[in-house]
Amino acid sequence: MYRFVKQKLKIMKYSLTFLVLLSTVSMASAQNVATVENVIGKTSEILNSLKSISYSSYREINNFKDNYFSKNSGNSYFEYDSAADGKVAKFQLQNEKSLQVYNGTEYFLLDHADKTVELEKRTAKQLGSISLLYNSITTIRIVLPLLLKDQGIPKSLKDTVIDGKSYDLVQFALNKKTMEFPNGFASFDSEVIKYYKLIIDKTTALPFMVFDGNSISKDQYYTKTIFTNINVNPKSPAEDSWYYSSYKGYEPQKKGTQKPMVMVGSFLQNWTLPKYDPTNSDTLQSIDLKGKIVLMEFWIKNCGYCMLAFPEIKTLQEKYGKKIEILSINAYEKKEEIDFFYQREKPKYQMLYNGEKLANNLGIYAYPASILLDKNGKVIYTSRGFDKIEIEKAIKKALSSNL
Protein backbone atom coordinates (compact mmCIF):
# COMPACT_ATOMS: atom_id res chain seq x y z
CA MET A 1 0.00 0.00 0.00
CA TYR A 2 2.80 2.36 0.96
CA ARG A 3 4.64 1.59 -2.28
CA PHE A 4 1.45 2.23 -4.29
CA VAL A 5 0.88 5.61 -2.60
CA LYS A 6 4.54 6.53 -3.08
CA GLN A 7 4.40 5.56 -6.77
CA LYS A 8 1.16 7.53 -7.22
CA LEU A 9 2.71 10.59 -5.57
CA LYS A 10 5.73 10.23 -7.88
CA ILE A 11 3.48 10.09 -10.96
CA MET A 12 1.58 13.16 -9.74
CA LYS A 13 4.91 14.97 -9.27
CA TYR A 14 5.94 14.16 -12.86
CA SER A 15 2.51 15.19 -14.09
CA LEU A 16 2.72 18.53 -12.29
CA THR A 17 6.25 19.04 -13.63
CA PHE A 18 5.02 18.27 -17.18
CA LEU A 19 2.10 20.65 -16.78
CA VAL A 20 4.44 23.39 -15.57
CA LEU A 21 6.80 22.75 -18.49
CA LEU A 22 3.88 22.66 -20.93
CA SER A 23 2.57 25.92 -19.52
CA THR A 24 6.03 27.47 -19.80
CA VAL A 25 6.44 26.30 -23.41
CA SER A 26 2.94 27.56 -24.27
CA MET A 27 3.69 30.97 -22.75
CA ALA A 28 7.03 31.13 -24.57
CA SER A 29 5.37 30.09 -27.84
CA ALA A 30 2.66 32.69 -27.39
CA GLN A 31 5.32 35.34 -26.86
CA ASN A 32 7.43 34.19 -29.85
CA VAL A 33 4.71 33.39 -32.39
CA ALA A 34 5.70 35.11 -35.63
CA THR A 35 3.17 37.52 -37.08
CA VAL A 36 3.22 38.98 -40.55
CA GLU A 37 3.83 42.40 -39.02
CA ASN A 38 6.88 41.42 -37.00
CA VAL A 39 8.39 39.42 -39.91
CA ILE A 40 7.93 42.38 -42.28
CA GLY A 41 9.09 44.75 -39.57
CA LYS A 42 12.31 42.85 -38.87
CA THR A 43 13.23 42.62 -42.57
CA SER A 44 12.35 46.28 -43.08
CA GLU A 45 14.45 47.33 -40.10
CA ILE A 46 17.49 45.40 -41.35
CA LEU A 47 17.22 46.63 -44.95
CA ASN A 48 16.61 50.24 -43.99
CA SER A 49 19.57 50.28 -41.60
CA LEU A 50 22.01 49.38 -44.36
CA LYS A 51 24.43 51.87 -45.86
CA SER A 52 25.04 49.60 -48.87
CA ILE A 53 24.25 46.16 -50.26
CA SER A 54 25.34 43.91 -53.09
CA TYR A 55 23.72 40.75 -54.44
CA SER A 56 23.09 38.62 -57.51
CA SER A 57 19.60 38.14 -58.93
CA TYR A 58 17.84 35.92 -61.42
CA ARG A 59 14.41 36.81 -62.80
CA GLU A 60 12.07 35.04 -65.15
CA ILE A 61 8.78 36.13 -66.68
CA ASN A 62 6.30 33.37 -67.41
CA ASN A 63 3.37 34.49 -69.53
CA PHE A 64 1.61 31.33 -70.68
CA LYS A 65 -1.46 33.16 -71.95
CA ASP A 66 0.53 35.24 -74.42
CA ASN A 67 3.21 32.63 -75.23
CA TYR A 68 6.03 34.65 -73.71
CA PHE A 69 8.99 33.64 -71.55
CA SER A 70 11.99 35.74 -70.65
CA LYS A 71 14.81 35.56 -68.14
CA ASN A 72 17.67 37.77 -67.06
CA SER A 73 20.27 37.86 -64.34
CA GLY A 74 22.84 40.26 -63.02
CA ASN A 75 24.79 41.71 -60.12
CA SER A 76 23.68 44.80 -58.20
CA TYR A 77 25.44 47.21 -55.88
CA PHE A 78 23.57 50.02 -54.06
CA GLU A 79 24.57 52.80 -51.71
CA TYR A 80 21.83 54.42 -49.66
CA ASP A 81 21.16 57.97 -48.49
CA SER A 82 18.00 58.91 -46.59
CA ALA A 83 17.94 62.34 -48.26
CA ALA A 84 18.00 60.99 -51.85
CA ASP A 85 15.12 59.86 -54.11
CA GLY A 86 14.16 56.36 -53.03
CA LYS A 87 16.93 56.78 -50.45
CA VAL A 88 19.38 55.62 -53.13
CA ALA A 89 22.60 57.60 -53.44
CA LYS A 90 24.05 55.60 -56.33
CA PHE A 91 24.15 52.15 -57.87
CA GLN A 92 25.89 49.87 -60.35
CA LEU A 93 23.96 47.14 -62.20
CA GLN A 94 25.84 44.67 -64.35
CA ASN A 95 25.04 41.68 -66.56
CA GLU A 96 26.77 39.98 -69.48
CA LYS A 97 25.59 42.59 -71.96
CA SER A 98 25.88 45.89 -70.14
CA LEU A 99 26.87 47.97 -67.13
CA GLN A 100 24.47 50.62 -65.83
CA VAL A 101 25.76 53.23 -63.43
CA TYR A 102 23.96 55.99 -61.53
CA ASN A 103 26.34 58.21 -59.58
CA GLY A 104 23.79 60.57 -58.06
CA THR A 105 23.80 63.16 -60.82
CA GLU A 106 24.13 61.25 -64.07
CA TYR A 107 23.30 57.85 -65.51
CA PHE A 108 25.23 55.96 -68.14
CA LEU A 109 24.90 52.58 -69.84
CA LEU A 110 27.84 50.76 -71.38
CA ASP A 111 26.86 48.31 -74.12
CA HIS A 112 29.61 45.69 -74.17
CA ALA A 113 28.65 44.26 -77.57
CA ASP A 114 28.38 47.55 -79.48
CA LYS A 115 31.08 49.24 -77.41
CA THR A 116 28.84 52.28 -77.02
CA VAL A 117 27.98 54.46 -74.06
CA GLU A 118 24.61 56.13 -73.46
CA LEU A 119 24.96 59.10 -71.10
CA GLU A 120 22.07 61.11 -69.67
CA LYS A 121 21.52 63.46 -66.78
CA ARG A 122 18.77 61.75 -64.80
CA THR A 123 17.31 61.58 -61.32
CA ALA A 124 16.49 58.30 -59.57
CA LYS A 125 12.79 58.97 -60.27
CA GLN A 126 13.50 58.64 -63.99
CA LEU A 127 15.16 55.22 -63.67
CA GLY A 128 12.27 53.03 -62.51
CA SER A 129 12.02 51.15 -65.81
CA ILE A 130 15.48 49.56 -65.48
CA SER A 131 15.05 45.79 -65.51
CA LEU A 132 17.30 44.99 -62.53
CA LEU A 133 15.30 47.43 -60.36
CA TYR A 134 12.05 45.52 -60.94
CA ASN A 135 11.12 43.70 -57.69
CA SER A 136 14.71 44.31 -56.53
CA ILE A 137 15.84 44.19 -52.90
CA THR A 138 16.11 47.98 -53.05
CA THR A 139 12.50 48.25 -54.21
CA ILE A 140 11.43 45.82 -51.45
CA ARG A 141 13.35 48.00 -48.98
CA ILE A 142 11.18 50.97 -49.97
CA VAL A 143 7.92 48.98 -50.02
CA LEU A 144 8.06 47.20 -46.65
CA PRO A 145 7.53 50.31 -44.44
CA LEU A 146 4.57 51.24 -46.66
CA LEU A 147 3.10 47.76 -46.18
CA LEU A 148 3.35 48.09 -42.41
CA LYS A 149 1.81 51.54 -42.45
CA ASP A 150 -1.18 50.65 -44.65
CA GLN A 151 -3.51 48.44 -42.63
CA GLY A 152 -5.87 48.22 -45.62
CA ILE A 153 -3.44 46.02 -47.57
CA PRO A 154 -4.31 42.34 -46.90
CA LYS A 155 -1.28 40.43 -45.64
CA SER A 156 -0.66 36.90 -44.42
CA LEU A 157 2.21 34.75 -43.15
CA LYS A 158 2.99 31.08 -43.69
CA ASP A 159 5.93 28.73 -43.45
CA THR A 160 7.30 27.29 -46.67
CA VAL A 161 10.09 24.80 -47.37
CA ILE A 162 12.48 25.10 -50.32
CA ASP A 163 15.17 22.47 -50.85
CA GLY A 164 14.67 21.24 -47.31
CA LYS A 165 15.06 24.69 -45.72
CA SER A 166 12.25 26.53 -43.92
CA TYR A 167 11.40 30.12 -44.93
CA ASP A 168 8.81 32.76 -44.01
CA LEU A 169 6.28 33.30 -46.79
CA VAL A 170 4.69 36.78 -46.69
CA GLN A 171 1.74 37.24 -49.04
CA PHE A 172 0.06 40.56 -49.82
CA ALA A 173 -2.26 42.02 -52.46
CA LEU A 174 -2.22 45.51 -54.00
CA ASN A 175 -5.46 46.82 -55.48
CA LYS A 176 -4.79 48.80 -58.68
CA LYS A 177 -1.17 49.21 -57.57
CA THR A 178 2.20 47.59 -58.15
CA MET A 179 5.61 47.73 -56.47
CA GLU A 180 7.85 50.26 -58.20
CA PHE A 181 11.17 52.01 -57.69
CA PRO A 182 11.69 54.63 -56.27
CA ASN A 183 8.28 55.59 -54.83
CA GLY A 184 7.31 52.15 -53.55
CA PHE A 185 3.96 51.92 -55.32
CA ALA A 186 2.62 52.95 -58.72
CA SER A 187 -1.10 53.09 -59.51
CA PHE A 188 -3.13 51.48 -62.32
CA ASP A 189 -6.25 52.83 -63.99
CA SER A 190 -7.58 49.36 -64.76
CA GLU A 191 -9.30 47.12 -62.23
CA VAL A 192 -6.51 44.71 -61.37
CA ILE A 193 -5.09 43.24 -58.19
CA LYS A 194 -1.37 42.44 -58.01
CA TYR A 195 -0.57 39.42 -55.85
CA TYR A 196 2.86 39.12 -54.23
CA LYS A 197 4.68 36.32 -52.43
CA LEU A 198 7.81 37.44 -50.59
CA ILE A 199 9.96 34.58 -49.29
CA ILE A 200 12.28 35.58 -46.43
CA ASP A 201 15.22 33.69 -44.99
CA LYS A 202 14.38 32.92 -41.33
CA THR A 203 18.06 33.04 -40.31
CA THR A 204 19.07 36.36 -41.88
CA ALA A 205 15.60 37.96 -42.26
CA LEU A 206 16.68 38.98 -45.78
CA PRO A 207 14.60 38.46 -48.95
CA PHE A 208 15.32 35.25 -50.83
CA MET A 209 12.64 35.21 -53.51
CA VAL A 210 9.66 37.27 -54.71
CA PHE A 211 6.78 36.26 -56.98
CA ASP A 212 4.13 38.48 -58.50
CA GLY A 213 0.97 37.76 -60.49
CA ASN A 214 -2.32 39.51 -61.15
CA SER A 215 -6.08 38.98 -60.98
CA ILE A 216 -6.54 39.25 -64.76
CA SER A 217 -4.06 36.64 -65.97
CA LYS A 218 -4.20 34.55 -62.76
CA ASP A 219 -2.13 31.37 -63.08
CA GLN A 220 -1.33 32.21 -66.72
CA TYR A 221 1.23 34.84 -65.74
CA TYR A 222 3.84 35.33 -63.01
CA THR A 223 7.34 36.65 -62.47
CA LYS A 224 9.88 35.10 -60.13
CA THR A 225 13.04 36.77 -58.80
CA ILE A 226 15.68 34.95 -56.72
CA PHE A 227 18.40 36.71 -54.71
CA THR A 228 21.77 35.10 -53.94
CA ASN A 229 25.24 36.17 -52.76
CA ILE A 230 23.76 38.90 -50.58
CA ASN A 231 26.39 41.03 -48.85
CA VAL A 232 25.15 43.68 -46.39
CA ASN A 233 28.62 45.16 -45.93
CA PRO A 234 30.13 45.04 -49.41
CA LYS A 235 33.32 46.63 -50.59
CA SER A 236 32.64 49.82 -52.53
CA PRO A 237 33.56 49.77 -56.25
CA ALA A 238 36.61 51.77 -57.28
CA GLU A 239 36.03 55.53 -57.31
CA ASP A 240 36.79 55.90 -61.02
CA SER A 241 34.18 53.23 -61.90
CA TRP A 242 31.42 55.79 -61.21
CA TYR A 243 32.37 57.98 -64.20
CA TYR A 244 31.88 57.07 -67.87
CA SER A 245 35.15 58.76 -68.88
CA SER A 246 37.02 55.98 -67.06
CA TYR A 247 35.85 53.36 -69.55
CA LYS A 248 38.05 53.37 -72.63
CA GLY A 249 37.04 52.05 -76.04
CA TYR A 250 33.37 53.06 -75.79
CA GLU A 251 31.90 55.54 -78.28
CA PRO A 252 28.86 57.75 -77.60
CA GLN A 253 25.69 56.03 -78.79
CA LYS A 254 24.29 57.57 -81.96
CA LYS A 255 20.60 58.23 -81.54
CA GLY A 256 18.61 57.79 -84.70
CA THR A 257 16.08 60.42 -85.61
CA GLN A 258 12.47 59.36 -85.31
CA LYS A 259 9.71 60.61 -87.53
CA PRO A 260 6.68 62.24 -85.91
CA MET A 261 3.54 60.14 -86.05
CA VAL A 262 1.57 60.50 -89.25
CA MET A 263 -0.79 63.46 -89.03
CA VAL A 264 -4.56 63.49 -89.31
CA GLY A 265 -5.48 64.71 -92.79
CA SER A 266 -2.54 63.07 -94.56
CA PHE A 267 -2.50 60.09 -96.95
CA LEU A 268 -0.31 57.01 -96.64
CA GLN A 269 2.14 55.90 -99.27
CA ASN A 270 1.43 52.59 -100.99
CA TRP A 271 2.49 49.54 -99.01
CA THR A 272 2.42 45.74 -99.22
CA LEU A 273 2.50 43.29 -96.27
CA PRO A 274 2.26 39.50 -96.00
CA LYS A 275 -0.99 38.08 -94.64
CA TYR A 276 -0.80 35.52 -91.89
CA ASP A 277 -2.61 32.39 -93.05
CA PRO A 278 -1.52 28.90 -91.90
CA THR A 279 -2.76 27.31 -95.14
CA ASN A 280 -1.29 29.59 -97.83
CA SER A 281 0.94 32.60 -98.44
CA ASP A 282 -0.52 35.83 -99.73
CA THR A 283 -0.05 39.57 -99.44
CA LEU A 284 -2.27 42.58 -98.90
CA GLN A 285 -1.66 45.88 -100.70
CA SER A 286 -2.95 49.27 -99.70
CA ILE A 287 -4.63 49.54 -103.11
CA ASP A 288 -6.82 46.55 -102.11
CA LEU A 289 -8.44 48.71 -99.42
CA LYS A 290 -9.67 51.46 -101.73
CA GLY A 291 -13.15 52.66 -100.77
CA LYS A 292 -13.06 51.09 -97.29
CA ILE A 293 -12.86 52.52 -93.77
CA VAL A 294 -9.68 50.92 -92.39
CA LEU A 295 -8.51 50.49 -88.78
CA MET A 296 -4.79 49.64 -88.59
CA GLU A 297 -3.68 48.36 -85.19
CA PHE A 298 0.07 47.77 -84.74
CA TRP A 299 1.25 45.37 -82.03
CA ILE A 300 4.09 43.22 -80.74
CA LYS A 301 4.19 40.08 -78.63
CA ASN A 302 5.82 41.32 -75.42
CA CYS A 303 3.31 44.11 -74.75
CA GLY A 304 0.61 43.95 -72.09
CA TYR A 305 -1.47 46.75 -73.62
CA CYS A 306 -1.29 45.03 -77.01
CA MET A 307 -2.74 41.89 -75.43
CA LEU A 308 -5.54 43.87 -73.78
CA ALA A 309 -6.42 45.30 -77.20
CA PHE A 310 -7.19 41.90 -78.75
CA PRO A 311 -10.64 41.44 -77.14
CA GLU A 312 -11.48 45.09 -77.90
CA ILE A 313 -10.67 44.56 -81.58
CA LYS A 314 -12.83 41.45 -81.61
CA THR A 315 -15.73 43.49 -80.16
CA LEU A 316 -15.35 46.13 -82.88
CA GLN A 317 -15.25 43.46 -85.58
CA GLU A 318 -18.42 41.81 -84.27
CA LYS A 319 -20.20 45.15 -83.99
CA TYR A 320 -19.30 46.68 -87.36
CA GLY A 321 -18.66 43.60 -89.48
CA LYS A 322 -17.96 44.44 -93.12
CA LYS A 323 -18.62 48.15 -92.59
CA ILE A 324 -14.96 48.54 -91.65
CA GLU A 325 -11.73 46.71 -92.50
CA ILE A 326 -9.64 45.84 -89.45
CA LEU A 327 -5.93 45.09 -89.92
CA SER A 328 -3.97 43.63 -87.01
CA ILE A 329 -0.33 44.32 -87.94
CA ASN A 330 2.52 42.66 -86.07
CA ALA A 331 5.79 44.56 -86.23
CA TYR A 332 8.61 42.02 -86.10
CA GLU A 333 7.75 38.66 -84.53
CA LYS A 334 8.57 35.43 -86.37
CA LYS A 335 5.79 33.83 -88.36
CA GLU A 336 5.63 30.79 -86.06
CA GLU A 337 5.19 33.09 -83.04
CA ILE A 338 2.27 34.86 -84.71
CA ASP A 339 0.64 31.47 -85.26
CA PHE A 340 0.04 31.21 -81.50
CA PHE A 341 -2.05 34.41 -81.51
CA TYR A 342 -3.80 33.50 -84.74
CA GLN A 343 -4.90 30.16 -83.30
CA ARG A 344 -5.91 31.76 -80.00
CA GLU A 345 -7.85 34.71 -81.43
CA LYS A 346 -9.24 32.97 -84.55
CA PRO A 347 -9.66 36.44 -86.09
CA LYS A 348 -12.32 37.33 -88.61
CA TYR A 349 -10.20 40.37 -89.44
CA GLN A 350 -6.90 40.20 -91.34
CA MET A 351 -3.67 39.60 -89.45
CA LEU A 352 -0.51 40.91 -91.17
CA TYR A 353 3.17 40.71 -90.22
CA ASN A 354 6.62 42.18 -91.03
CA GLY A 355 5.08 45.59 -90.33
CA GLU A 356 7.95 47.34 -88.53
CA LYS A 357 9.21 49.27 -91.57
CA LEU A 358 5.68 50.51 -92.34
CA ALA A 359 5.17 51.39 -88.67
CA ASN A 360 8.42 53.41 -88.53
CA ASN A 361 7.50 55.20 -91.77
CA LEU A 362 4.29 56.22 -90.02
CA GLY A 363 6.18 57.44 -86.94
CA ILE A 364 5.28 54.42 -84.82
CA TYR A 365 8.09 53.13 -82.57
CA ALA A 366 6.11 51.96 -79.51
CA TYR A 367 3.17 49.60 -79.36
CA PRO A 368 0.23 49.37 -79.56
CA ALA A 369 -0.60 52.18 -81.96
CA SER A 370 -3.73 52.84 -84.01
CA ILE A 371 -4.53 54.60 -87.28
CA LEU A 372 -7.99 55.01 -88.83
CA LEU A 373 -8.47 55.81 -92.53
CA ASP A 374 -11.66 56.97 -94.21
CA LYS A 375 -12.95 55.58 -97.53
CA ASN A 376 -10.67 57.94 -99.42
CA GLY A 377 -7.57 56.68 -97.60
CA LYS A 378 -7.20 59.83 -95.53
CA VAL A 379 -5.98 59.56 -91.95
CA ILE A 380 -8.83 60.62 -89.65
CA TYR A 381 -7.57 59.33 -86.30
CA THR A 382 -4.24 58.33 -84.72
CA SER A 383 -3.35 57.09 -81.26
CA ARG A 384 -0.25 55.96 -79.40
CA GLY A 385 -2.05 53.13 -77.65
CA PHE A 386 -5.47 51.58 -78.16
CA ASP A 387 -8.44 53.56 -76.89
CA LYS A 388 -11.58 51.70 -77.91
CA ILE A 389 -13.95 54.51 -76.90
CA GLU A 390 -12.14 57.15 -78.98
CA ILE A 391 -11.63 54.77 -81.91
CA GLU A 392 -15.31 53.91 -81.96
CA LYS A 393 -16.24 57.61 -81.94
CA ALA A 394 -14.02 58.11 -84.99
CA ILE A 395 -15.52 55.03 -86.71
CA LYS A 396 -19.07 56.25 -86.16
CA LYS A 397 -18.15 59.69 -87.48
CA ALA A 398 -16.57 58.14 -90.57
CA LEU A 399 -19.60 55.94 -91.20
CA SER A 400 -22.04 58.81 -90.82
CA SER A 401 -20.12 60.99 -93.26
CA ASN A 402 -19.81 58.23 -95.87
CA LEU A 403 -23.43 57.07 -96.13
Q: Mean pLDDT throughout 361-374?
A: 95
Asked whether the beta carbons of 92 and 239 are under 8 A apart, the reply is: no
Q: What is the pLDDT of residue 218?
A: 87
pLDDT for 27-51, tens place per residue? 333 344 689 999 999 999 999 999 9
pLDDT in tens, 90-100: 999 999 999 99
Domain coordinates in residue numbering, the chain: 36-252, 272-400
- Does the domain spanning 272-400 belong to CATH 3.40.30.10? yes
Instruction: Give 25's pLDDT tier (boundaries 50, 70, 90).
Output: very low
Q: What residues contact residue 194 under an 8 Å CB cut-off, 6+ apart?
A: 173, 174, 177, 178, 179, 212, 213, 214, 215
Q: Provide mean pLDDT across the span 346-363.
A: 95
Which letter does DSSP use for residue 183 in this model?
T
DSSP state, residue 86: G
Q: Which amino acid is at 346?
A: K
DSSP, collapsed to helix, strand or coil, labels residue 291 as coil
pLDDT band at 190 (very low <50, low <70, confident <90, very high): confident
In tens, the pLDDT along 255-309 reads 777 899 999 999 999 999 999 988 888 999 999 999 999 999 999 988 888 998 9
Q: Within 10 Å of residue 56's Cβ, how many Cβ atoms?
A: 15
CATH topology assigned to domain 36-252: outer membrane lipoprotein receptor (LolB), chain A (2.50.20)
Position 8 scores a pLDDT of 40
Between 88 and 120, the more confident residue is 88
Confidence bin at 402 (pLDDT 50/70/90) = low
Residue 330 reports pLDDT greater than 80: yes
DSSP characters over 97-120: SEEEEE-SS-EEEEETTTTEEEEE
Alpha-carbon distance of 297 to 324, in angstroms, equals 13
